[in-house]
Amino acid sequence: MKKLTLFSLLFLLLVACQNKENTENVQQSIAQEKEDIPPEYLDETNYTGDKLEIVKLMNARMRYLYEKDEKAYMSLIDPESPVSGMAGSKVRKVISMGEIIIQEQKKLYQGVVTITELRENEEEASHIMVFWKKKADGDNAQWIFADID
């Protein structure tokens, strides 16, 4: 009888360990599937001119966050910007976006837009994005992130 009880306990322990391993595997699979969901990019067909260039820049930011390509991400940022690295999590989509406001200043054009984005962890984050297009660059001037608050 003791052998049967011992065997039953051993069998239950093996089943419990197997269930724990299966649960961990399922949790890892779910986490990987969440990570592998590509971002939902902003529709560029709704914009023209400088506003289109800014939206393309915002889409590139989302793509580089998704790809975890810090070098490409930082190439979108002005060297004088306080932004020093990639955000902590991927952006799944922009869920609201204000009007892109472009103002001419002495040495540059400045674009500003307020957005709310959905991150991979289902968290919402609001940002004010500031873009610059430097006049000194002439015809080669391109929009670049100046800051993301």
SS3 80: coil
What pLDDT shows up at residue 15? 56
What pLDDT shows up at residue 84? 86
Instruction: State how far Cα 5 lies from the chain centre.
Output: 54
Burial class (CB in 10 A: 0-12, 13-18, 19+), 81: middle
Confidence of residue 39 (pLDDT cuts 50, 70, 90): very high
Residues 41-148, CATH architecture: Roll (3.10)
Q: What gap in Å lies between CA 143 and CA 135, rounded to an integer?
A: 11
Q: What gap in Å lies between CA 29 and CA 18, rounded to an integer?
A: 16
Tell me: pLDDT of 129 over 60. Answer: yes
| Mean pLDDT (whole number) for 106-122 | 95
Confidence of residue 35 (pLDDT cuts 50, 70, 90): low
Q: What gap in Å lies between CA 26 and CA 21, rounded to an integer?
A: 9
Residue in this structure with the two tokens 């975890």, named with its chain if needed: 68
* Arithmetic mean of pLDDT over the chain: 85
Using alpha carbons only, give the angle 124, 73, 46 rounded to the nearest 5 degrees. Answer: 65
Task: Kindly report, residue by residue over 40-77, the tens digit of the pLDDT.
Answer: 999 999 999 999 999 999 999 999 999 999 999 999 99
Compute how many other C-beta atoms are within 10 angstroms of the C-beta atom of residue 131. Answer: 26
User: At 114, which amino acid appears?
Assistant: T
Task: Kindly report, residue by residue over 115-128, the tens digit of the pLDDT.
Answer: 999 998 889 999 99
User: Who contacts 38 (Cβ-Cβ below 8 Å, separation ≥6)?
Assistant: 66
Domain coordinates in residue numbering, the chain: 1-36, 41-148
33 or 49: which leads in pLDDT: 49
Confidence of residue 113 (pLDDT cuts 50, 70, 90): very high
What pLDDT shows up at residue 121? 86
